[in-house]
Every structure is written in structure tokens, then in C-alpha cells.
Amino acid sequence: MHTGWVVLIKNDSIAAAGPMQFKLPAGTQIIELKNTTLLPGLIEGHAHILLHPYNEIPWDDQVLKESRAERTARAVNHAKATLMAGFTTIRDLGTEGAMYDDAGLKTAIEKGIIPGPRMIIATRAIVAKGTYGPNAENADGENIIGAEEVTGLESMANAVRTQIGKGADLIKIYADYRYGLNKEAVPTFTEAEICEICLSGKRDKTLLCVVETPGDLLMMEQTQTYRGLYFVLMGRLSPLDGIGPKDIHLDSLIKRASDGIVKEVILATNFTVEGEATAHYISELLGEKGLKVSRIARGLPVGGELEYVDAGTLAQAFIERRAV
């Protein structure tokens, strides 16, 4: 918690924040927030904006008995309420029978037609045929299903490509689910079927980008500039926290990077002390294998102005300057 801070907003983005030690541009509007706590926008990591609480209407009835028009109307209200509650970004993990209506909601928000948070969407989600609900009361009937059913490699590839084409920012797959006699969580796909997800589309198998978390992978994908493969460490080196090389699967990384296909490993760990240490350690290990290793660049943000940039970032921009 900081007191006496100033936040400078320019073009709907934070240009600077901290004690009043930077120059305000001419014509800046001052908004005083006395006796108020100012929070950054919150992020909801697992949302279903096209659903509402099950103590109001059970999930089965929402999927089977509520029209998509009604569910979309509810979602418009949910989007506004979510934004007003302070959540500026949500990751919506499935429409649960409402097809690609989350894509339409996302577009409406982006166009300013309705208020709502930024949406990162999964569209329909993917399940093995026969494992997901709602369950049919009559075995001869056909129900609306809460996710997209697939039945094999070709079906999986088609589903992934279709969802991407309809606007999915990420692919959600139920690798296991509660079904069968005992309703216990058991695997629903073969390894080959799951691998088909990563094989879908044109990816450059000679490039391997190393990130700390699945969230980092998602942000890289949103740039739409990188078309290689990824290795997710699921963490970073932190001796003080007892996190060593084995904890972030560096043995598996070395094995994968040394498969003879990968030509360049791109280190995209965070620019924290731990992230930098992790990148340096990995570069030393892979350098011994004769592999080309690169690090994503640092410097001024797109649209940034020098007078609002901290000294550390500006210094790094000078160090990593390039010829034009």
C-alpha cells in the first residue's frame, strides 16, 4: 500500500505511477481521490460469463432450457457488473453450450457497444464424446452438450482449427473428466489426441520459446508474431524459496532442445531477479550443447515517451539499441 502516489493516464493506459517526481503534460486533468484506495484493474482467471449461479438455476437447466438469446442478455449484464467490480480482464473458459457467443460479446465490448472487461476466450472447450453433460434422460434423444465433442485425431484437429477461426484466444481441453460407473476423474484422451492440439496449424519446429508460466505463453500468442513451439518451465529458479533446476524441469528442456530439430532457443523469462538468473542459467547449459540461444529484448514500451520512463528501463534501451 502506497500513500501520496500519483497515476498518470494517457490514451487509456498508465504512463507513469509513483511519488510526484515527474512532469505533468500541459492540460493534464487532475482527479483527486481523497480518502480512497486506488487499485489496478483485477484479472479473473476462470470465468463463465454466459452462466449464472447454480443456486439460481442448475447448470443442466441453464444449458438445456435457457435460450442462447436469454443467456447472452444475462451475459451483457454480467460483463457490466464484472467491470464495475474492478475486473478489467477476464479469461472466459467456455460457453457451456452457447457455441461462439463469447466471441460476439468480446467484439461488442471492443467496439464500445456494451461495457465490459477485456475478454480472453476459449469459445466451446473440447471434450471426448460421451463424457460431458448434460446427460440425456432418454438414450434415444440428442441433447445440447456443454462443450464440443471430438472422437479422434482428425476430429480433434478440426475442432481446434474451427475454434481458432471463430475467435478463440486459447484452447481448453478436458484431458480427464468424471464419467463412467464410479463418476471418478479418469483420462478421456490418448496422448496422440492431446498432442494434435499443439500440432494444429503451421508452427516452426526449429524455434523453441522458454516461458515461466502458461499465462506467459498466452501473452506471447496474443502478439501473433511468434509461430514456433514453447517450453513452459512452470516456475523459475529461486534458491531462497528452495526452487532448483529439477523443480522447473530443466532436464526435459535440455532433452527437447537437443533433439536435432530445434535450431534456436528463445528465453522469455520475466525481467525479475529470479527470471534473469533463470535465463542466464539456461543459456549456460544450452551454450555447452552448441545451441543458438537468444533473449527477448527490453526497452521502451510502444508509444512510450522518454520523460515518463524510469532510469533503469531507459538505460537498458541504450544497452540493447540496434542499427537502423
Contacts of 150 (CB under 8 A, 6+ apart): 126, 127, 128, 129, 156, 158, 159, 193
Q: What is the mean pLDDT of the chain?
A: 87
Task: Kindly state the DSSP code that residue 25 receives in the 8-state scheme.
Answer: P
pLDDT of residue 198: 63
Write the DSSP string, 227-253.
-EEEEE-SS--BGGGTB-GGGGTHHHH
Average pLDDT over residues 24-43: 86
Share of the chain above pLDDT 90, in %: 46
Other Cβ atoms within 10 Å of 11 Cβ, number: 6
pLDDT of residue 46: 94
Cell 467490480 sits on residue = 85
- The Cα–Cα gap between 214 and 120 comes to 14
Task: Record the cell numbers describing residue 299, joined without a space.
Answer: 526497452
- Phi, psi (degrees; rounded to nearest 5) at 108: -60, -40
Cα 308-311-312 angle, rounded to 5 deg: 120
pLDDT of residue 204: 84
Check residues 11 and 283 and name the one with the higher pLDDT: 283
pLDDT of residue 213: 84
Cα 213 from chain centroid?
A: 10
Cα 19 from chain centroid?
A: 32
Cα 208 from chain centroid?
A: 18
Per-residue confidence band for 52, with pLDDT thresholds at 50, 70 and 90: very high
Element (H, E) at 257: helix 250-257
**Is the pLDDT reported for residue 200 higher than 70?**
no
Q: Average the pLDDT over each of 26-35, 37-46, 212-221 and give the range with the smallest value.
A: 212-221
Contacts of 260 (CB under 8 A, 6+ apart): none
Per-residue confidence band for 221, with pLDDT thresholds at 50, 70 and 90: confident
pLDDT, one tens digit per residue, over 109-125 is 999 999 999 999 999 99
Share of the chain above pLDDT 70, in %: 94
pLDDT of residue 25: 82
